[in-house]
Structure 1
Amino acid sequence: MMRLLTVAVLAASALTVGTNAYADATLTKVSGPSPFPPACSETGPGTLHWNSEVQSHAAVNPRNPGHLVGTYQQDRWSSIASQGVVTATSFDGGRTWRQSVPPTSQCSGAGNFKRATDSWVSVAPDGTAYLATLAMTKAFFEPGSEHAIQVSRSRDGGLTWGPATVLVREGGESVFNDLPAVTADPTDSRYVYMVFTKIEVFTETEFTGSAYLARSVDGGRTWEPPKVVYAPGLNSQTIANKIVVRPDGTLVNAFTRYYLDASGAEWEEIAVISSADKGKTWSAPVKVADLTKVGTKDPDTGTPIRDGSDFVHAAASGRDLYLAWQDSRFSGGKHDGIVLSRSRDGGLTWSAPVPVAAQAFSPALAVLWDGTVGVTYYDLRDNTSDPATLPARYSLATSSDGVTWREQRVATFDFAGAPTVDRPERSLYLGDYHGLVASGGSFVPLFPKAGKDPANRSDVFAGRFQPIAGL
Structure 2
Amino acid sequence: MFSAAAALLAGAAAQPAGAEEETGSGHAVVRPVSGVSPLPADCGEPPIDGYVLNPNAEVLPTVATDPNRPWHLVTVYQQDRWNRYGSNGAVTAVSDDYGKTWRQSDNLPPFSRCNGGTAANGGDYEVTTDNWVTITPSGAAIAASLSLSRTGETTAILVSRSGDGGRTWDAPATLARDDNAQFFNDRPVVTADPYHPGVVYAVWDRVDATDAGWTQPVYLAKSTDDGRTWTTSKVYDFPDNSGVIGTQLVPLADGTLLIGMHHETDTTAATQVIRSTDGGATWSQPTLNVPAPFAVGVRIPDPDNSGDPIRNASLPLLAARPGTGVVSAVWQSQAADGTFHIDYAQSKDAGLTWSSPVRIDKTPVGSAAVPVVAASPNGTVAVTYYDFRNNTADPATLPTDVWAVTCKSNCTQPASWREQHIEGPFDARKVPLTSAGRLVGDYSGLVSVGRSAFTAVYGVATGDSANPVDIHSAIFTG
Do they fold alike, i.e. is TM over 0.5?
yes
Q: Please point out which of 155, 169, 182 is paired with 1:147.
A: 155
Q: What is the Cα deviation at residue 291 of structure 1? A: 2.1
Q: CA deviation at 1:102?
A: 1.7
Partner of 1:208: 215
Letter in 2 for 1:306: R
Shift of 1:282: 2.2
Aligned to 1:263: none
Cα offsets for 1:66-92 (capped at 9, x unmatched): 111111000001122100101111122
- The residue type paired with residue 269 of structure 2 is E
Contact 2:456–2:475, Cα closer than 8 Å, also in 1: yes
Extract unaligned runs of 5+ from structure 1: 1-19, 261-265
Q: Residue type matched to 2:216 in 1? A: G
Among 339, 356, 359, the alignment partner of 2:360 is 356
The answer to whether structure 1 residue 221 and structure 2 residue 228 are counterparts is: yes
- Which amino acid is 1:247 matched to? A
Q: Is the 8 A contact 2:402 2:421 kept in 1?
A: yes
Q: Which moved more, 1:226-235 or 1:154-163?
A: 226-235
Decide whether the 8 Å contact of 2:274 with 2:288 is kept in 1. no
Of 412, 420, 427, 1:414 maps to 427
Given that 1:187 and 1:247 are in contact with CA atoms closer than 8 Å, whether structure 2 keeps it comes out as yes
SS in 2 for 1:464: strand
The alpha-carbon deviation at position 287 of structure 1 amounts to: 3.4
SS of the residue corresponding to residue 416 of structure 1 reads helix
Structure 2 residue corresponding to 1:103, chosen from 90, 102, 110 = 110
Q: 2:466 aligns with which of 448, 455, 463?
A: 455
Please give the TM-score of this superposition, normalised by the length of structure 2.
0.87
Give the alignment partner of residue 76 of structure 2, picking from 71, 75, 81: 71
CA distance in 2, matches of 1:216, 1:435: 24
CA deviation vs aligned residue, 1:325-356 (integer Å, no higher than 9, x gap): 1111xx32431111101111111111111111
Pick one of 226, 229, 233 that aligns with 2:239: 233
User: What does residue 27 of structure 1 align with?
Assistant: 30
**2:455 matches 1:444:** yes
Q: Distance in 1 between matches of 2:167 and 2:289?
A: 38
The 2-side partners of 1:132 and 1:181 are apart by 7
Asked whether the 8 Å contact 1:210–1:228 carries over to 2, the reply is yes
Matches for 1:286-297 after TM superposition, within 5 Å = 286-293=287-294, 295-297=299-301
| TM-score where L is the length of structure 1 | 0.88
Q: Closer, same or farther in 2 for the Cα pair 1:269/1:333, shift >3 Å? A: farther
* 2:145–2:159 Cα contact (<8 Å) kept: yes
What's 2:280 paired with?
A: 279
> Whole-Å Cα distance in 1 between the matches of residues 319 and 338 of structure 2?
28
Partner of 2:442: 432
Structure 2 residue runs without a partner (length 5+):
1-23, 119-123
SS at match of 1:107: helix
**Aligned partner letter, 2:195:** T
Matched residue type, 1:444: T
Q: In the alignment, residue 118 of structure 1 is paired with which amino acid?
A: D
For 2:376, the equivalent position in structure 1 comes to 368
The letter of the residue matching 1:298 is D
Q: By how many angstroms is 1:367 displaced?
A: 0.8
Q: Per-residue deviation at 1:153?
A: 0.3
| Identity percentage of aligned residues | 40
Q: Which moved more, 1:406-415 or 1:27-36?
A: 27-36
- CA change 1:435–1:306 in 2 (3 A) is same
Residue 248 in 1 paired to residue 254 in 2?
yes
Question: In the aligned structure 2, how far is the partner of 1:61 from the partner of 1:183?
Answer: 12
Match of 1:257 among 255, 263, 267: 263
Distance in structure 2 (CA, Å) of the matches to 1:84 and 1:297: 30
CA distance in 2, matches of 1:392, 1:34: 24
Deviations 1:279-312 (A, max 9, x none): 2232233233112356413311132211323x00
Per-residue deviation at 1:23?
A: 5.2
Instruction: Map 1:126-165; keep pairs closer than 5 Å.
Output: 126-140=138-152, 145-165=153-173
- Matched with 1:15 is none
Aligned amino acid, residue 146 of structure 2: L
Displacement of 1:47 after TM fit?
1.3
CA distance in 1, matches of 2:180, 2:213: 17
Distance 1:38 1:297 in 2: 37
* Contact kept? 1:195, 1:213, Cα under 8 Å: yes
Matches of 1:23 and 1:391 in 2, distance apart? 20
CA distance in 2, matches of 1:146, 1:332: 39
The verdict on how the C-alpha distance between 1:211 and 1:85 changes in structure 2, with shifts beyond 3 A counting, is same
What residue identity is the alignment partner of 2:54?
H
CA contact (8 A) 2:207 2:215 kept: yes
Q: Distance in 2 between matches of 1:387 and 1:253?
A: 40
For the pair 1:393 / 2:401, whether they are aligned, the reply is yes
The alpha-carbon deviation at position 221 of structure 1 amounts to: 1.6
| Alignment coverage as a number of residue pairs | 430
Aligned letter for 1:415?
A
From 120, 143, 146, give the equivalent of 2:132.
Answer: 120
Give 1:39 shift.
Answer: 5.7
- Kindly indicate whether the alpha-carbon contact (under 8 Å) linking 1:206 and 1:235 is maintained by their aligned counterparts in 2: yes
Residues 187 and 246, structure 2, Cα contact 8 Å, conserved in 1: yes
Distance 1:420 1:36, change over 3 A: same
Partners of 1:313 and 1:324 within 8 A in 2:
yes
Shift, 1:239, TM fit: 0.8
Q: Is the 8 A contact 1:23 1:411 kept in 2?
A: no
| 2:448 counterpart letter in structure 1 | A
Instruction: Give deviations 1:81-127, integer Å, cap 9, x for gaps.
Output: 10010111112211111112221100111123011111000011111
